Structure 1
Amino acid sequence: MDDYVKIEKIGEGTYGVVYKGRHKATGQIVAMKKIRLESEEEGVPSTAVREVSLLQELKHPNVVRLLDVLMQESRLYLIFEFLSMDLKKYLDSIPSEAAIPWRLRDRPTLQDFQVYPTNFQFNNGIG
């Protein structure tokens, strides 16, 4: 943790707190996810281990990058690239017509499908 400085708290969830931070040497802005370790006997939660192992392997332009993993006392820090907004804020910022592609918007609804069995019966002389 000596390489990073916390700037401000940007979120909180079930397992911990997320801070905006900065790498001291490079000046890179990062997201620092601090995971609470409830008891030292149990160690790192399996959910955190799973997240770390998946993110270390996953390299995709549409997935936030895990830059570093640090342990400090009874805290686990996951250091991510910093994004100015989360997925929900991003989706909320897009006009609704642009957010949903036309091919999804114009697909039949469940209500449309409920008519089809009746049509099948009438068309085939069953109903």
Structure 2
Amino acid sequence: MQAADILAVFPATLLSFVTAFGLGALFWVVGLMVISFATPQRELALLRAGNLPTAIAFGGKAVGMVLPIAAVARSAAGPLDQAIWCIVAVLVQLLVHLVLSAVLQGRLKAEIEADEVGGGAVFIAFIQIGAGILNNACMAG
């Protein structure tokens, strides 16, 4: 492929990139907001205050959420397909979050209130990332 050929298709490929990136970023942020609403703590306020257990757990949620969204952006047949699979990715991560909350029965809440990192925050972060990796592999096609 010659440079002229690349430059000729660049506007269309740039538009595809901007669309895929924009949708991915939108679903990433919305997904994190959905999980935050399902959390009894005000995570954004706690992050602003420098609460380390919240930062670890929420960071794991963020990485776990973006992994499948990235896989979808790479393999989607178009914007509608990407949006549908991003919704599935968010729902999977939300389900993992709810299961972890039930299994740990307030362990993270206690760590957040004490502002001390313990097993809850680290465990949640790693499981959310692990779920994101599995979700990514399943969605990568």
**Which TM-score tier does this pair reach, normalised by the shorter chain?**
under 0.3
TM-score norm. by structure 2 comes to: 0.24
More helix by share: 2
* Structure with a larger share of its residues in strand: 1
Q: How high is the TM-score relative to the length of structure 1?
A: 0.25
The structure, 1 or 2, with the larger RCO (C-alpha pairs under 8 Å, 6+ apart) is 2
The structure number with the bigger radius of gyration is 1
